[in-house]
């Protein structure tokens, strides 16, 4: 077999027929044609007996060509892209050139006349092809050897393959001949061609230019960086003097010239045009603005939380508050919309009915969310591929306007993070508590820094200034046991305590404690990690351990305490029966200082007091009883 032609194919049914028809008219036994279907949506089939078709899972043109190389048996190998064509004398000229026995055969080429941008390169004696395309060359199989296409690159794979073969920069000895007739015709009018997508920055591989006028021999860091970038991207080095010849293995080396790239590194170069690649994603959630709390921000967060494991998701916004942005960033990329940047996605989801579709977002499918029932001043935008109502009620409210809308209830996300409930009852700015206030402030910060959600109720006679939304100043109250019972921890961080009622109350209610190392704890039978956590005065501990809340039984011998007091006071019984005095409403008749209230009272004020005291003050004509005789 003299020649193997490898055709990589992916969803190009509208073009490949013309190419195969041209080849069919000139096919002969010395030639095999291998077409590798790279997982097209509609599998390729053919009636041509001479055509060998192999189908594989989609992986890119490099994987398709490498599979073709594995199956090829020809003495020479060449490649044709499925959307290009060759002339009717293609095989005749090529087989004659093969008989000369050179390592490489180069073809003259041009674009198809009248279609798209026009290019033409006709070879003459002594000229060489400047482009690295493998489709405008045929290679002796022994010259290719074990060299294969780089499957990490989804573009510029020809340049990579040709450079590693060694003929682009003459780093390998070989013989070459050329065919002056035009042997290959490019379709430059294909709208979504790989070449155009690459230049726009829509492929994973990018073009990087390093502009380093003098590359010195000690620039090994530059060598390693370019070597790394070459694994995925097309790399060029602009330089006037290169003392590292091994760089030619990993990039094209030349003097600065007019060229475009996606990333320019090194020194500025006015001859280089930088094309900023668009931002690509599978799903783009767009919202102009969202309230701090509401259905739209909740939908966006829940959607990202539940769906980011299935899709690449980008949240694009114009106005969101910082807390929303920060919590979303833990799940997916979040960016502020920029009008001069291009965005490309498979599916665009618009979240507000009033959002105007930005012109610089390209998409395959648009989805309009309808989070609200019908409103007088708002309508469902037309022109969307899909309209999603979050309930049947919402859809029906819009009537005929939403007749084609789908109903998908909002996705829910259950946050598996624990939220600690802390309670403390302590005096603020109390000298006998030592650095208690500072430790409480530090604990709140430790919880915030660790990302631990919490609600902390601090019952005190004055407020403690803690910069955390989880910390809540509560007014002093005499009964907090119901709060302590529901809490995960009772917090006590003072320097010293003689007894500490709140700790003992918590333990008897089954609530763990978080306490500094108070000497009295040992006396009360409190053990670290069993009844809670005892922490050092400097608060140097792993706050995350609080998420492991101890469960325990704690017995306090309250009866023995009562018995001791009974022994001290004597074993007696009450001699007088106490009855709670009834409260009555009175109206003040004259201004006077009330000794029970310890303040002045004024005429026409109404206050409650005990019935006995009201009788006494009414007799002195200071008050008048209201509503009773």
Q: With the C-alpha atoms ordered 511, 517, 519, 525, is the resulting torsion angle positive or negative? A: positive
Instruction: Read off the pLDDT of each residue in 160-182 and give the average, rounded to a whole number.
Output: 86
pLDDT per residue over 460-517, tens digit each? 989 999 999 899 999 988 789 999 999 999 999 999 999 988 999 999 999 999 999 9
DSSP output for 355-373:
PPPPTTEEEEEEEEEE-S-
pLDDT per residue over 324-369, tens digit each? 898 899 999 999 999 888 999 999 999 999 988 999 999 999 999 9
Residue appearing with tokens 């000139």: 26
HEC-encoded secondary structure of 527-558: CCCCCEEEECCCCCCCHHHHHCCCCCCCCCCH
Q: Which CATH architecture has domain 419-558?
A: 3-Layer(aba) Sandwich (3.40)
pLDDT per residue over 380-430, tens digit each? 999 999 999 999 999 999 999 999 999 999 988 877 667 999 999 988 888
Are 454 and 422 contacting, i.e. CB atoms less than 8 angstroms apart?
yes
Residues 6+ apart with CB under 8 A from 350: 286, 287, 357, 366, 367, 368, 369, 381, 384
User: What are 344's strand-pairing partners?
Assistant: 280, 362
Domains 280-407 and 419-558 share a fold: yes
Are 185 and 240 contacting, i.e. CB atoms less than 8 angstroms apart?
no
Residues 6+ apart with CB under 8 A from 117: 111, 188
pLDDT per residue over 43-66, tens digit each? 999 999 999 999 999 999 999 999
Q: How far is CA 192 from CA 11, 12, 259, 563, in A?
A: 11, 11, 22, 92
629: confidence class by pLDDT, cuts 50, 70, 90: very low
CATH of region 280-407 = 3.40.50
pLDDT per residue over 73-86, tens digit each? 999 999 999 999 99
Are 328 and 301 contacting, i.e. CB atoms less than 8 angstroms apart?
yes
Residue appearing with tokens 């590194």: 265
**Per-residue model confidence (pLDDT) at position 180:** 94
Residue appearing with tokens 């990333």: 263
Query: CA 523 to CA 544: how far, in whole Å?
Result: 28
Query: CA 464 to CA 269: how far, in whole Å?
Result: 59
Q: What spatial distance separates the first Cα and last Cα of the chain, rounded to whole Å?
A: 125
Query: CA 296 to CA 353: how far, in whole Å?
Result: 11
Of 179, 184, 142, 138, the closest CA to residue 162 belongs to 138
DSSP state of 139: E
pLDDT per residue over 561-615, tens digit each? 889 988 998 988 888 887 778 888 999 999 999 888 889 999 999 999 888 889 8
**Per-residue model confidence (pLDDT) at position 30:** 96
Q: Is the pLDDT of residue 121 over 80?
A: yes
Half-sphere exposure of 91 (CA within 13 A, CB side): 19
**Per-residue model confidence (pLDDT) at position 182:** 96
Q: How far is CA 57 from CA 36, 39, 417, 542, in A?
A: 10, 5, 40, 49
DSSP output for 145-202:
TT----TT-SS-HHHHHHHHHTTTTT-S---EEEEEEEEEEE----TT-HHHHHHHT-
User: What are 608's strand-pairing partners?
Assistant: 585
Instruction: Read off the pLDDT of each residue in 314-333 and give the average, rounded to a whole number.
Output: 92
Superfamily of domain 3-190: Spore Coat Polysaccharide Biosynthesis Protein SpsA; Chain A (3.90.550.10)
Strand-pair category, 583-588 with 623-625:
antiparallel
Q: Is the pLDDT of residue 112 over 50?
A: yes
**Per-residue model confidence (pLDDT) at position 417:** 67
Query: CA 510 to CA 422: how far, in whole Å?
Result: 14
Q: Residue ranges of the domains in the chain?
A: 3-190, 206-274, 280-407, 419-558, 583-625
Q: How far is CA 320 from CA 217, 314, 529, 610, in A?
A: 51, 14, 43, 58
Are 415 and 304 contacting, i.e. CB atoms less than 8 angstroms apart?
no
């Amino acid at each position: 077999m003299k020649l193997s032609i490898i055709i990589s194919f992916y969803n190009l049914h509208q073009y490949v027929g013309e190419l195969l028809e041209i080849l069919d008219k000139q096919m002969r036994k010395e030639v095999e044609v291998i077409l590798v279907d790279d997982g097209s949506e509609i599998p390729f089939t053919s009636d041509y007996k001479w055509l060998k078709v192999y189908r594989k899972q989609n992986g890119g043109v490099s994987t398709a060509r490498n599979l073709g190389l594995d199956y090829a048996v020809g003495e020479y190998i060449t490649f044709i892209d499925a959307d290009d064509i060759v002339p009717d004398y293609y095989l005749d000229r090529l087989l004659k050139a093969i008989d000369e026995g050179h390592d490489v055969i180069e073809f003259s080429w041009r674009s198809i006349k009248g279609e798209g941008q026009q290019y033409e390169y006709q070879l003459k004696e002594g000229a060489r092809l400047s482009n690295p395309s493998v489709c405008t060359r045929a290679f002796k199989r022994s010259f290719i050897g074990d060299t294969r296409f780089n499957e990490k690159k989804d573009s510029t794979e020809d340049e990579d393959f040709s450079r590693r073969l060694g003929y682009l920069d003459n780093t390998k000895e070989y013989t070459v001949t050329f065919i002056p007739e035009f042997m290959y015709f490019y379709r430059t009018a294909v709208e979504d061609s790989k070449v155009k997508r690459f230049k726009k920055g829509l492929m994973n591989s990018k073009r990087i230019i390093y502009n380093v006028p003098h590359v010195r021999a000690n620039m090994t860091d530059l060598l390693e960086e370019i070597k790394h970038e070459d694994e995925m991207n097309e790399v060029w080095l602009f330089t006037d003097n290169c003392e590292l010849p091994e760089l030619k293995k990993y990039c094209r080396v030349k003097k600065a010239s007019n060229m475009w790239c996606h990333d320019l590194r090194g020194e500025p170069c006015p001859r280089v045009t930088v094309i900023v690649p668009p931002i690509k994603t599978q799903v783009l959630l767009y919202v102009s603005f969202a309230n701090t709390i509401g259905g739209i921000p909740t939908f966006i967060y829940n959607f990202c939380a539940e769906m980011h494991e299935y899709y690449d998701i980008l949240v694009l916004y114009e106005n969101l508050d910082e807390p929303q942005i920060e919590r979303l960033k833990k799940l997916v990329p979040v960016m502020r919309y920029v009008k001069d940047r291009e965005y490309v996605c498979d599916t665009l989801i618009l979240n507000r009915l009033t959002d105007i579709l930005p012109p610089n977002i390209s998409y395959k499918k648009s989805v309009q969310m309808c989070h609200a029932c019908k409103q007088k001043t708002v309508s469902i935008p037309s022109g969307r591929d899909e309209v999603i109502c979050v309930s049947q009620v919402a859809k029906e409210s819009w009537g005929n306007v939403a007749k084609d809308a789908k109903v998908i209830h909002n996705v829910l996300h259950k946050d598996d993070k624990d939220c600690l409930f802390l309670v403390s009852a302590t005096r603020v700015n109390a000298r006998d508590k030592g650095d208690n206030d500072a430790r409480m402030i530090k604990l709140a910060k430790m919880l915030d820094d660790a990302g631990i959600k919490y609600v902390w109720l601090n019952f005190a006679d004055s407020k403690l200034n803690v910069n955390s939304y989880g910390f809540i100043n509560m007014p002093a109250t005499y009964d907090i046991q119901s709060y302590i019972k529901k809490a995960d921890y009772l917090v006590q961080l003072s320097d010293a305590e003689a007894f500490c009622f709140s700790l003992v109350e918590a333990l008897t209610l089954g609530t763990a404690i978080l306490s500094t190392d108070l000497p009295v704890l040992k006396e009360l039978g409190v053990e670290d990690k069993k009844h809670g956590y005892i922490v050092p005065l400097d608060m140097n501990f792993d706050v995350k351990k609080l998420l492991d809340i101890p469960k325990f039984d704690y017995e306090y011998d309250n009866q023995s305490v009562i018995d001791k007091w009974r022994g001290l006071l004597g074993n007696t019984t009450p001699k007088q029966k106490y009855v709670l005095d009834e409260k009555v409403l009175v109206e003040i008749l004259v201004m006077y200082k009330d000794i029970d209230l310890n303040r002045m009272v004024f005429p026409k004020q109404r206050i409650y007091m005990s019935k006995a005291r009201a009788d006494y003050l009414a007799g002195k004509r200071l008050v008048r009883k209201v509503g009773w005789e």
